[in-house]
Structure 1
Amino acid sequence: MTKKVNPQVDLMIIINTFVPCLFAFKYADDLPDELERVFDEWEDPQFLNDFFEEHESGISITIEEAIEKARSEAIFLRNKLVALAQANPNELNLLFKNLNNNEYTAKELSQQKARNRWLRLYAIKIDENNYVITGGAIKLDNQHYMKDYPHTNTELMKINKCRDYLKEQGVYDADSFQEIFF
C-alpha cells in the first residue's frame, strides 16, 4: 500500500516493505524504494566493481574479494530482515542503532543505522520497532565521518531531509505516522 502525501514535495512516498513495521521512502515513480535500491546495488557486480575501483585505497583486499564480501554481507543483512519479518518484527530495535555513535538514547524521530561491517541501512526511528528506511551505503573502514565522503554525505543529507519532512507532516510517533501516511 502506498500513498502520496504532499504534492508539493516532489515524489516523497512512503511504502510498506516485506518486514512489518519497516517502511521505506521512494523518491521517484520509476525507481525502487530505498530498501530495494540499496540491496539491488549491493548485489550488482558491476555497481560494486565500479564502487571498489573508485575507492580502492579504502580496501585491503582485491576488488574481486571486496565484491564477494559486499554481496555476502548484503545476503546476510537481507536474511536477517526476512527472519525478523517471519519471526518477530518487534526485534527491529536489536538491528538498528543510533546513527551517531556518541548518542546513547533515542530521541524523537532519531536517525538510525543498521550495519553489517561495510554495509549501512539508514532509517528514521518513528517509535519502538517502527522505522522508515531513507537509504543505504557502503562505508569502508577508512571512512570515519559520513560528511567527508560524497556517497555517504548524500545519505546523510537524505536522512536529514526525510526527518525534516516527517516533522513537517506532524509525525512524532507510530500513531501519528499511521494516521498521516496510511
Structure 2
Amino acid sequence: MKIDSIFGVIRGSLYSVKYENEDKDEFVRVFNEWSDVEFLGIFFDTHINDLQSGFYGNITPDEAIDITVDKSHELEDELLYTAEIGKTDDYDTLQILFKPLDNKEYRITEHQQTKAYGLEHKSWLRIYAIRISKNCFVVSGGAIKLTETMNEREHLRKELRKLEITKQYLIDNGLFDADNLENFITEQS
C-alpha cells in the first residue's frame, strides 16, 4: 500500500491521505462507509460476536447501524468545526479530539500516531491520524473498533499499517510542520 497524495480537508489543519488505487481520500472513505447502511449491515453481521460481547450491552446489528450513522455525522461535524476554529483559537484545537494511539503515552511526540473517538462514551468509531502540530493532523484511516485491542481483527491491523505508512511518508518527505505540509500539497497539485 502506497500513498498517492495528501488532500486538505480543512486547509491548514486537517488533511487526509489517498492511497494508490483508491477513489477517495481516507477521510471521505471512512465517513462514506459509516453512512452506508448496506456496508454497515455486512460489517455488523460479520462482527456480531464482537458487537454482542457485552462491552456495548445487548445491541442488535440494526441498532448498531442507526447509532453509527447518527454518531458518525456528529464526529465528522465536530472534526471539521474544531479544525476550522483551531486555526485561530489556541485552546480549541484538534489536539483536544485526537489522543495518542497508545493509551499509556502521556507526552506529545513528533509524528505521533493518534486516534479520535466518536463523541459518546464507549464509542466504537475511530479516526486515525498522524499529529503534525496541535491543530494539524493527517488522517490515515478509520474503523469501527469493537474489540479491546487493534491486533484482534484484520481490519484494525490494516489501520495500524496505514498509520505506519503515513508516518513514514511524512518523515521521508520532510513534512514536520503545517507550513511545509501545505507547501508540499500545493506543489503536488
TM-score, normalization: structure 1?
A: 0.87
Deviations 1:109-158 (A, max 9, x none): 00011101110000000112100000000001xx1111221011000000
> Which residue is equivalent to 2:55?
none
C-alpha contact (below 8 Å) 2:3/2:20 kept by paired residues: yes
The whole-number CA distance in structure 1 between the counterparts of 2:49 and 2:2 is 37
SS at match of 2:24: coil
Cα distance in 1, alignment partners of residues 128 and 180 from structure 2 = 21
Within-5 A mapping of 1:31-180: 31-59=23-51, 60-85=58-83, 87-89=85-87, 90=89, 91-116=93-118, 117-140=123-146, 143-180=147-184
Q: TM-score, normalised by structure 2?
A: 0.84
1:139 partner amino acid: K
User: Could you tell me how far apart the structure 2 residues matched to 1:18 and 1:88 are?
Assistant: 11
Structure 2 counterpart of 1:44, one-letter code: D
Q: Unmatched 5+ residue regions in structure 1?
A: 1-8
Q: Give the 3 Å change call, closer, same or farther, for CA 26–88 of structure 1 in structure 2.
A: same
Query: What is the CA–CA distance in structure 2 between the aligned matches of 1:33 and 1:114, rounded to whole Å?
Result: 17
Are residues 19 and 166 of structure 1, via their aligned partners in 2, closer, same or farther at CA, if it must alter by over 3 Å?
A: closer
Range with greater deviation from structure 2 (21-30 or 54-63): 21-30
More off after superposition, 111-120 vs 167-176: 167-176
